[in-house]
Structure 1
Amino acid sequence: MLSPLGASLSGLRAGLEKLEASANNVANLSTDGFKKDRVLLSEGVTGGVVVEIGKSTESGPSYRSPQGEVIEASNVDLAEEAVEQILAKYTFSMSLAAFKTTDEMQKGVIDLLA
């Protein structure tokens, strides 16, 4: 079993990785053929958060270039990424609150034992 501090740290890391993936997606919004990163968060075997990052398989919208070629645009949706960034913020904030609470509880136990 993972310690409460370890579980909180894995949540902080998950929030950061989720935000980094979304920021990368937004940065490549106008890159033709770019496939967005998908982040899947799950519970680890011993507790904590496990992050899996993979590429989306959805195709982006197509358009015709001035030369007549059909080009696939990026499949990144800016509105979806805004929501993902808000979720990443709350994931990080909740994990930080759990970390602070665990730290305060451990200090309280040390004060009782001292």
Structure 2
Amino acid sequence: MTVMRSALAACILALSASAVSAQQVETAEGSGAEMRVLDKLTGQVQDVTLAAGDSRRFGRIEVDVRNCRYPSGDPAGDAFAFLTVRETGIADPVYRGWMIATAPALNPMDHPRYDVWVLRCTTS
């Protein structure tokens, strides 16, 4: 029992030490976001650029970009954007949250017809 407690304590100590030593990346705010929109029914793909605060309709959905951020000093780096996606005739958004360009599956939009993912932030 004492061995198990010691092992548990060692694991907790190791986890807390790694959490403390994790680097926090400073970010800069982009002026908007570049995204890719896929209509799964027709196979049509569109790359679009939206300024922060703008929205655009694609078929039956409307995509709104509130914010796009990227690592300071590296505009081509790993962008993440806050998106809201609404479907025509439905009050609640079908997606609302942060989407990461290099890992869209971490917080994906779940829609039977459309896929939307962030490619990068715009800086001007």
Q: Which has the higher strand share?
A: 2
Fold-level match, TM-score > 0.5? no
Q: Which has the higher contact order (CA 8 A, sep 6+)?
A: 1
Q: Return the structure number with greater helix share.
A: 1
Could you tell me the TM-score, scaled by structure 2's length? 0.22
